[in-house]
A and B are shown apart, each in its own frame.
Chain A
Amino acid sequence: MDIAIAADAEATLPALTEAVKRLLTADRKRAFADRGAKLAAAHQKAVEAARVEATYGWDASPISTARLAMELWGQIKNKDWSLVSGGGGWPSRLWAFDKHHQHIGSSGGAGVGYGAPASLGAALANRKYGRLSVSIQNDGDLMYAPGVLWTAAHHKIPLLSVMHNNRAYHQEVMHIQRLANRHQRGIENAGIGTTLVDPNIDYATVARGMGVHAEGPILEAKNLGPAIGRALEVVSKGEPALVDVVTQPR
Chain B
Amino acid sequence: MMRRVVLAAALMAGALFAQPPNPTNGRKLFTRFGCYQCHQREAQGAAATGPRLGPHPIPFARFTRYVRQPTGQMPPYTIKVVKDAELADIYAFLESLPDPPAVKDIPLLNQ
CA distance A31 to B48 in the complex (A): 33
B4 to chain A, nearest CB (A): 32
Contact of B49 with A250 in the complex, beta carbons under 8 Å:
yes
> Chain B residues near A131 (CB, 8 Å)?
none
A residues near B101, Cβ cutoff 8 Å: 55, 58-59
Flag A157-187 by CB within 8 Å of B: 1 or 0 each: 0000000000000100110011111101011
Partner of B75, one of A57, A60, A177: A177
User: For chain B residues 7-64, which have a beta carbon within 8 Å of chain A?
Assistant: 32-34, 36-38, 40-42, 44-49, 52
Chain B residues contacting A184 (CB-CB under 8 Å) are 78, 80-81
A196 close to B (CB within 8 Å): no
Q: Are B109 and A57 in contact (CB under 8 A)?
A: no
Number of A-B contacts (CB under 8 A): 100
User: Using Cβ atoms and an 8 Å threshold, which residues of chain A touch B100?
Assistant: 55-58
- Chain A residues, CB < 8 A from B33: 187
- Expressed in whole angstroms, the Cα–Cα distance for A94 and B108 within the complex equals 11
What would be 12 A-B contacts, judged by CB atoms less than 8 Å apart?
A: A51-B109, A53-B47, A65-B46, A73-B108, A77-B111, A89-B48, A182-B76, A187-B32, A248-B44, A249-B36, A249-B41, A249-B49
- Taking residues whose C-beta sits less than 8 angstroms from the other chain, chain A's interface range is 35 or more
A177 touching B37, Cβ below 8 Å: yes
Task: Kindly list chain B residues whose C-beta atoms are within 8 Å of the C-beta of A187.
Answer: 32-34, 81
Pair B46/A74 contact, Cβ less than 8 Å: no
| A181 touching B42, Cβ below 8 Å | no
Contact yes or no, B75 A178, CB < 8 A:
yes
Given contacts A186-B81, A250-B46, contact A54 B76 (CB under 8 A): no
A62 close to B41 (CB less than 8 A)? yes
A85 within 8 A of B: no
Q: Which 9 A-B pairs have the closest CB atoms?
A: A181-B75, A250-B46, A57-B44, A56-B44, A55-B100, A57-B42, A178-B75, A70-B108, A177-B34
Give the distance to chain A from B56, nearest Cβ to Cβ, in Å.
11
Q: Does B1 contact A (CB under 8 A)?
A: no
Contact residues in B for A181 (Cβ distance below 8 Å): 75-77, 81
Does residue A138 face the partner (Cβ distance < 8 Å to B)?
no
Q: B55 → chain A, closest Cβ, in Å?
A: 9
Contact of A52 with B77 in the complex, beta carbons under 8 Å: no
Contact of B41 among A60, A170, A179 (CB under 8 A): A60
Give A139 Cβ to nearest chain B Cβ, in Å: 15
Cα A94 to Cα B46 with chains together (Å): 14
Q: Report which residue of B44, B48, B49, B78 has the largest number of chain A beta carbons within 10 angstroms of its beta carbon.
A: B44
- Contact (Cβ within 8 A) B109 A70: yes
Is residue A142 contacting chain B, with contact meaning CB distance below 8 A? Answer: no
